[in-house]
């Protein structure tokens, strides 16, 4: 029996996760490896989804590797801080991690976070010190900073492989690939192709033409059209398969990233999938979860509520947006997500926005023409975004707009007017004496006549003994250049005050 099981175990390509700080060159390295042109597909040069890419390194002369032993599957994960959960998930489904660190910048916050994910996942690590073509490149500094994070590379007393690379010149790329294959060989990565197919959902979204679409990473077994697949949130019969380049395939092997069509609804990113004998068994596996709008928190009486409807291209984007919005807090504003879905903005979204007075935020999705016409008719603005950070900043602005500052009036002093020297349009030169508090240059004032307010204006300038002065105290005589909407008369009181906007505002 043991021999039979051993016969079913076959070598599989390593799954490699690429981690590191934003703009340190993760996608650029992948582009250099096989001209994948990842950056051209991403807004602002920032990878916004988890993508999986398979490459064939090719055999060097006289190399006798069997079919598949020179293939590598790369998972490219976003580098910015809001994608923490996505990076963590990426590390958990990988065999090997590449930590990309820019030679001219060194260890940064997300570098440290990536190291933490790799350690938790317990997978082998390769350090790629990128941007060696820069004149300010300092790989030794990077090595010292990594040592402080308990990552000791080869050459400085450690065992972690380290390669100096340049995505621009392709320096070190070949060496990096060979180290990956060497570690994969040492790890003896094998899989049982006789087992039922299973793996992980890497990405999922709703295609307007093809329906629910998911990118899967197969870990065991073989996947073919016609099989029934299911996760804890979705199931379906596979209609057809495509490789990561969108080319139709008849069969998928372990460690292969594949695009699957046939789910009845969009599965959740990060879920494990299995294959089933029939739809009934898959339905039984499906967890019974409540569909529809999330439970809305009770609104506190003294807090305003900003209702949001989120529509995004894929679940990974939606997850990242929701994650960062959780961290936005306001002293007097509740943030409430009424709906968070993948797919284009539709008529129902606009109707929901109207009835709930919600803001519609669309991330890299189209707006249904019917929805667009309805929104224009109802004067509902649909805000469109291509980069998550711009969406988040807009939410901050919307929240700030909702908070009306508490206006606090502080009385500074009073001046009794004894003489009017000059009248000129809406300006006057007045003489008087500070009766209470103090009077300051540039402050607003109210004109009181027989204890009744008759108008208001501003203290443009102050003088004492014909010399300009900033402020005067009680008992001092003064000359005032006044500007206002009413003419001041002898015996009037100018009540000087200041306005303070009190707005408690804490944004994490």
Tens of pLDDT, residues 12-38: 999 998 888 878 888 888 888 876 555
Tell me, yes or no, if the two domains 198-285 and 304-402 fold the same way. Answer: no
pLDDT value of residue 180:
94
Please say if the pLDDT value at position 404 is more than 80.
no
Please say if the pLDDT value at position 286 is more than 90.
no
Please say if the pLDDT value at position 326 is more than 50.
yes
Taking residues 233-258, report their average pLDDT.
89
pLDDT value of residue 40:
57
Q: Assign a CATH topology to domain 406-502.
A: Elongation Factor Tu (Ef-tu); domain 3 (2.40.30)
Please say if the pLDDT value at position 438 is more than 60.
yes
Taking residues 231-238, report their average pLDDT.
88
Taking residues 268-294, report their average pLDDT.
70
Q: Tell if the pTM clears 0.85, that is, is over it.
A: no
Please say if the pLDDT value at position 83 is more than 50.
yes
Residues of the chain with pLDDT > 90: what percent?
39
Helix (H, G, I), strand (E, B) or coil at 388: helix
CA quadruple 404, 406, 411, 412: dihedral positive or negative? negative
How does residue 297 score in pLDDT terms, banded at 50, 70 and 90? very low
- Domain chopping of the chain, boundaries: 2-190, 198-285, 304-402, 406-502
pLDDT value of residue 451:
85
Domain 2-190 has CATH 3.40.50.20: no
* Between 46 and 115, residue with greater pLDDT: 115
* Between 505 and 262, residue with greater pLDDT: 262
Dihedral pair phi/psi, residue 26, rounded to 5°? -65, -55
Q: What is d(CA 445, CA 407) in angstroms, rounded to the nearest whole number?
A: 16
Q: Mind listing the pLDDT tens digit for each residue in 102-161?
A: 999 999 888 888 898 888 888 999 999 999 999 999 999 999 999 999 999 988 889 999
| Least confident stretch, 216-220, 296-300, 448-452 | 296-300
Dihedral pair phi/psi, residue 373, rounded to 5°? -65, -40
pLDDT value of residue 244:
82
pLDDT value of residue 2:
44
pLDDT value of residue 92:
66
How does residue 65 score in pLDDT terms, banded at 50, 70 and 90? very low
| Least confident stretch, 276-285, 393-402, 458-467, 474-483 | 276-285
pLDDT value of residue 481:
94
- Structurally, what CATH architecture does the domain formed by 304-402 represent? 3-Layer(aba) Sandwich (3.40)
pLDDT value of residue 495:
94
**C-alpha distances in Å from residue 286, one per residue of 223, 260, 289:** 20, 18, 9
**C-alpha distances in Å from residue 492, one per residue of 78, 88, 238, 453, 488:** 68, 72, 87, 10, 7
Please say if the pLDDT value at position 39 is more than 70.
no
H helices of 278-416, in order, are 279-285, 315-326, 347-356, 369-378, 388-402
| Least confident stretch, 59-73, 108-122, 187-201 | 59-73
For helices 369-378 and 347-356, give the axis angle rounded to 10 degrees: 20
pLDDT value of residue 215:
87
CB atoms within 10 A of CB 120: 11
Domain 198-285 has CATH 2.40.30.10: yes
């Amino acid at each position: 029996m043991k021999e039979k099981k051993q016969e079913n175990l076959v070598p599989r390509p390593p799954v490699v996760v690429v981690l590191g700080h934003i703009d340190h060159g993760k996608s650029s390295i992948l582009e250099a490896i096989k001209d994948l042109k990842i950056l051209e597909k991403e807004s602002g040069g920032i990878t916004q989804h988890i993508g999986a890419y398979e490459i064939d390194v090719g055999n060097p002369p006289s190399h006798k590797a069997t079919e598949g032993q020179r293939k590598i599957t790369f998972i490219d994960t976003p580098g910015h801080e809001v994608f923490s959960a996505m990076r963590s998930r990426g590390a958990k489904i990988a065999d090997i991690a590449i930590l990309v660190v820019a030679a001219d910048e060194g260890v940064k916050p997300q570098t440290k976070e990536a190291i933490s994910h790799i350690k938790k996942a317990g997978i082998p690590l390769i350090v790629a010190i990128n941007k060696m073509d820069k004149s300010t490149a300092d790989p030794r500094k990077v090595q010292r900073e990594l040592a402080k994070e308990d990552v000791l590379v080869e050459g400085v007393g450690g065992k972690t492989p380290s390669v100096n690379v340049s995505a621009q010149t392709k320096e070190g790329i070949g060496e990096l690939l060979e180290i990956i294959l060497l570690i994969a060989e040492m790890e003896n990565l094998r899989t049982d192709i006789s087992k039922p197919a299973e793996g992980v959902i890497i990405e999922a979204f709703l295609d307007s033409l093809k329906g629910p679409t998911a990118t899967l990473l197969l870990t065991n077994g073989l996947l073919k059209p016609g099989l029934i697949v299911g996760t804890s949130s979705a199931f379906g019969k596979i209609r057809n398969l495509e490789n990561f380049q969108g080319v139709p395939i008849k069969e998928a092997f372990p460690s292969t990233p594949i695009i699957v069509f046939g789910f009845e609804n969009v599965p959740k990113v990060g879920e494990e999938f299995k294959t089933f004998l029939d739809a009934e068994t898959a339905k039984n596996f499906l967890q019974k979860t409540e569909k529809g709008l999330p439970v809305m928190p009770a609104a506190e009486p003294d807090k305003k509520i900003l209702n949001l409807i989120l529509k995004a291209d894929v679940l990974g984007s939606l997850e990242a947006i929701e994650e960062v919005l959780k961290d936005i807090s306001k002293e007097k504003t509740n943030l409430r997500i009424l709906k968070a879905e993948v797919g284009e903005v539709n008529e129902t979204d606009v109707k929901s926005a109207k009835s709930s007075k919600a803001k519609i935020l669309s991330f890299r999705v189209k707006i249904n023409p019917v929805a667009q016409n309805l929104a224009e008719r109802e004067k509902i603005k649909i805000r469109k975004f291509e980069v998550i950070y711009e969406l988040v900043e807009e939410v901050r602005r919307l929240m700030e707009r909702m908070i009306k500052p508490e206006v606090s009036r502080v009385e500074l002093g009073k001046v009794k007017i004894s003489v009017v020297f000059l009248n000129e349009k809406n300006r006057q030169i007045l003489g008087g004496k500070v009766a209470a508090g103090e009077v300051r240059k540039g402050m607003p004032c109210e004109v009181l006549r027989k204890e009744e307010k008759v108008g208001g204006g501003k203290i443009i300038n102050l003088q004492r003994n014909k010399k300009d002065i900033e402020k005067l105290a009680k008992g001092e005589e003064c000359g005032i250049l006044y500007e206002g909407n009413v003419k001041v008369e002898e015996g009037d009181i100018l009540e000087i005050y200041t306005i303070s906007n009190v707005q408690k505002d804490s944004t994490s």
